[in-house]
Chains A and B, each alone.
Chain A
C-alpha cells in the first residue's frame, strides 16, 4: 500500500495562468475528497467523488475550479485563471465505505500540493 500520492508537490504560477493537480488514491478506495488549506487554518472541504461521480461540491469551489475522476481511480483538480487568493495547500484524501452500520468513513490524506500564485 503506497498511500495517497499527489503531484506536483509544489506549484508556482503567475496570476491568470491555469494549473492542474493530480491525486492518486489508495487503490481499493472508491471515495475521494479534495480539501483546501490556507495558512493558519484547518483544511476546508471542496468536493467529493464516489467512483467517477462527483456527488458534492462546496460553495468554496468557484466556477474557475473543476475536478474530475474519469475512471474512478485518479482525480485531477484544475484551477483556471488563477488568483492570488488561490494560494493554498490542496489536499486529497481517499477512503472506502464505512463498515456495516457505520456512517462515517476514515479518510487518508496525501502530502498535498502547495500552490503559490504570484
Chain B
C-alpha cells in the first residue's frame, strides 16, 4: 500500500522567506511523486512531478522539490515566498494498478504568507 504524509497542516512564512513544505511517502515500488497547489474554491494545479531521472525537480512559480529515496521524502521548497503563494499544497503519489494511475494525496498543507 502507498500513502503520503504531509507534516504540518499549516505553515506560515514571511514574504521573502524560504518556503519548506514537507512530504514523506511510503511505497513498495519506485514512486511517481507530484505536488499540486489549490487556491480557494478552485481545482488543483500541477506544480511539479518526479517520475525518473534527476532527483531535483523544478516546477512552476519558482518551486522545486528533491526526491530522496533514502529518506522517502519529496519536500517542496521555494527560496523566497510571495504573497501570491498563499494556498493549499498537496503532495501525491501514483498508485499504478495496471489500468488507472490513481493519485493518492496527503491531507494538504495550508501556506500562509505574511508581510
Contact = CB atoms under 8 A, between A and B. Distances in A.
A11 B84 CA distance: 28
Contact residue range for chain A?
20 to 34
B100 A56 contact: yes
A35 B103 contact: yes
Interface stretch (B14-22, B40-48, B56-64, B68-76): B40-48
Chain B contact residues (Cβ within 8 angstroms of A): what range?
Answer: 20 to 34
Nearest to A105: B101
Contacts of B34: 106
Contacts of A111: 42-43
B67 interface: no
A21 interface: no
Contacts of B106: 42
A110 B43 contact: yes
Given A93-B103, A111-B42, 18 more contacts: A31-B101, A33-B100, A35-B103, A41-B108, A42-B90, A42-B106, A45-B103, A45-B104, A56-B102, A91-B43, A102-B52, A104-B96, A105-B101, A106-B49, A109-B36, A111-B43, A112-B42, A114-B41
9 contacts: A42-B90, A43-B90, A45-B100, A45-B102, A95-B101, A103-B96, A109-B44, A109-B46, A114-B41
